[in-house]
Amino acid sequence: MPATSSSTRPSGEKVRREREAGGAAAQAAALVETVDRDRAAFIKQHFSLEWPCRSIFHLMVNSQMGDDAVLETILGGMNALDMR
């Protein structure tokens, strides 16, 4: 199975980041809800699992720590898998 990762963050943080990107509060909240619902449906349809199902990922990262830290963590995880 190829390495997989997922980036997660609390819903309030997701809405805040969407608003920083220029979205209105109501639109940002609706977008976060839609993305979360679509992600759950995708996982259910293709893997018959309930989201979030941490066991299907090699790595899950809370992206609230910032983009640079997330990237560094993902790359470090990839390197660790390559070294096995």
Average pLDDT estimate for 35-64: 85
Supply the range of the domain harboring residue 22.
5-83
Mean pLDDT (whole number) for 32-38: 86
Indicate the length of the chain as a whole number: 84
State the Cα–Cα distance between residues 48 and 24, nearest whole angstrom. Answer: 34
pLDDT class for 5, splitting at 50, 70, 90?
Answer: very low
Rounded CA separation 25/40 (Å): 23
Q: Would you tell me how many other CB atoms lie within 10 Å of the CB of residue 28? A: 19
**Number of structural domains found in the chain:** 1
Taking residues 61-79, report their average pLDDT. 90
Tokens found for residue 46: 């293709």
**Res. 2: pLDDT tops 60:** no
Per-residue pLDDT, 83: 77
Tell me: the pLDDT tens digits for 8-28? 555 777 777 777 777 777 787
